[in-house]
Structure 1
Amino acid sequence: MLLSFIISCFLLAVSPGPDNIYLTALTSKSGKIAGLSFLTGLITGCFVHTTLLAFGLNELLIRHGFFFEIIKYSGVFYLLFLSYYNYKSEILNIYTNNNNKLFKYFKRGALMNLLNPKVFLFFTLFFPNFIYSEIYSFKLQILSLGFIFIAITFIVFGLIILFSNFIHKNFSSNNRFKIFAKYFNVLVLLFIAVLILFTENNLTLTN
C-alpha cells in the first residue's frame, strides 16, 4: 500500500497541474530563490492540510458548506489580486525591497495552497485510501503519509526549479522574454482562479 502511495504521489507531482505550472512560470521569471520560497510556502500549506485531516478537523469544512465557500471565494479573490499585482509589477515592485521578497513568495505559496478548496478535497479523498496498518493509529498514518507526500513534492518540484532557473539565467535579460513571462504568470493565476471558482463541495454532509 505504501509503495502504491509513493508511486501515486510521484505521478501526481510530475503531471502538469496548477502548482507546478505556476512554479515553472514564477521561477523562469524571478529565479530560483523566488521558486524555493514559493515551494516552501506550498509545503507549509500541505503540512497544515495533513494536520487538519489527521486530527479530523477537515470535517468542519465538510459539514459547513458556508465555510467551504468562504475559502473558495477568498482564494479566487487572492488570485485575482495576484494577477493584478503581476500585471502592474513595474509600478508595484518599486515599493518592494529585497528583504521582503522571500517572505512575499513564501506567503504566496502558503496562501495559494490553503485557500484552494481543491487541495482540501484532494487530501480528504486521497489520503484515507492508503491507510496501511491496523496497528498504528489513523492519526499517525495520515501524518506519515503527509510527510511522504511532502518529501516527494519537494524533490520533484525542486527539479522543476532547477530547470526553470536555467531558463531564467539564460533568457531573463531578454526584454521579449520578460514580457512573455509576465503575461504568462498573469494567465496562469487567472486560470487557477477559474478552476477554484468552479470547485464544488461534493462532500457536504447533512445532519
Structure 2
Amino acid sequence: MIDVSVLPVFLLASLLICVAPGTDMAYMLAVGIAGGRGAALRASTGVALGVLVYSVVVAAGMGELVRQYPWTLTAIRVVGALYLIWLSVSAFLDARRGTTVAAGPGTTRWFRQGLVVNLTNPKMALFFLAFLPRFLGSAASSVAQFIVLGLCFMLIGFIVDTTVGLLASTLQRRLSDKPSAGRALSIVAGTVYLGLAGVVVWELATG
C-alpha cells in the first residue's frame, strides 16, 4: 500500500531540514526564552499539529489548487508576517508592563501560537507541495503515502523543536528569579518575532 523504500532518504532529508535554521527553530528559541519549559512543550505540540494539517491537506489533493492559484502562497506569507508582528507587539507590551509570560499549567496560548506560526509559514507550505510528492515512490495509495511521510516529518520536527525549546528554556529558568529578567526575556522574544516578520516581508518584496 505504501512504498517504504523511500523512507531512509526521506528521514535523512527531513532531519536535515528540521535542524537547519528557520522560522520554526527561531520561534522555538523565542518561546523557550520567554515562556520556559512548559511553553516550549506546548508550542512544539502546536507546530507538530500544523505539520499534520499540511499532510492531510496535501493528501486530499489541495496541492493542485494551490498550483492553479499561486496567490494563496502570497496570502499565507502576508498572514504569517502580520501574526509574527502581533506576537512581537504583544511581547514588547509584556516587557513594558513588566508582566511574566511563562506558561501556567492550563495555558493553551503557546499551543495556539505554535499551530498558527506553522500554518502561516510559507516554507512549510512549499515543502509539502514541492518536496513531499518526490517521495511517492511506487506506493499504491498516494494518500496513505503522504500521511505516513507527514507523520514521520512531524515526529522528527517535534523532537528537534522540543529540544531547541527546552535548551532555550534553561536561560529563562536561570534568570527568572532576577529583577527585570522577565522584561528582558520578553524583549528578546519580541525582537526574534519582529526579525522573523521582517524576513517574510523581505521575501514578499523580492519574490
Instruction: Normalising by structure 1, report the TM-score.
Output: 0.84
Aligned residue pairs total: 198
**Equivalent position of 2:117 in the other structure:** 112
Deviation at 1:125, TM superposition (A): 1.3
**Equivalent position of 1:188 in the other structure:** 192
Q: Does 1:169 align with 2:173?
A: yes
Question: After the TM superposition, which of the residue ranges 36-45 and 167-176 deviates more from structure 2?
Answer: 167-176
Q: Does 1:82 align with 2:126?
A: no
Deviation at 1:176, TM superposition (A): 5.9
Which stretches of structure 1, 4 residues or more, deviate above 4 A after TM superposition? 96-100
Q: Is the 8 A contact 2:30 2:193 kept in 1?
A: no
Give, in whole Å, the separation in 1 of the partners of 2:26 and 2:77. Answer: 20
Question: Which letter maps to 1:85?
Answer: S
Deviation at 1:188, TM superposition (A): 1.5
**Equivalent position of 2:41 in the other structure:** 36
Question: After the TM superposition, which of the residue ranges 53-62 and 64-73 deviates more from structure 2?
Answer: 64-73
Question: After the TM superposition, which of the residue ranges 49-58 and 14-23 deviates more from structure 2?
Answer: 14-23
Give, in whole Å, the separation in 2 of the partners of 1:58 and 1:192. Answer: 25
**Equivalent position of 2:3 in the other structure:** none
Q: Which runs of 5 or more residues in structure 1 are unaligned? A: 201-207
**Equivalent position of 1:160 in the other structure:** 164
Give, in whole Å, the separation in 1 of the partners of 2:9 and 2:139. Answer: 19
Deviation at 1:36, TM superposition (A): 1.0
Q: Does 1:63 align with 2:68?
A: yes
Give, in whole Å, the separation in 2 of the partners of 1:159 and 1:175. Answer: 27
**Equivalent position of 1:205 in the other structure:** none
3-state SS, counterpart of residue 61 of structure 2: coil
| Percent of pairs with identical residues | 27
Q: Is the 8 A contact 2:36 2:166 kept in 1?
A: no
Give, in whole Å, the separation in 2 of the partners of 1:61 and 1:38. Answer: 27
Deviations 1:146-197 (A, max 9, x none): 0000111112222223322322222222346434422221122122212222
RMSD (Å), alpha carbons: 2.5
Instruction: Normalising by structure 2, report the TM-score.
Output: 0.84
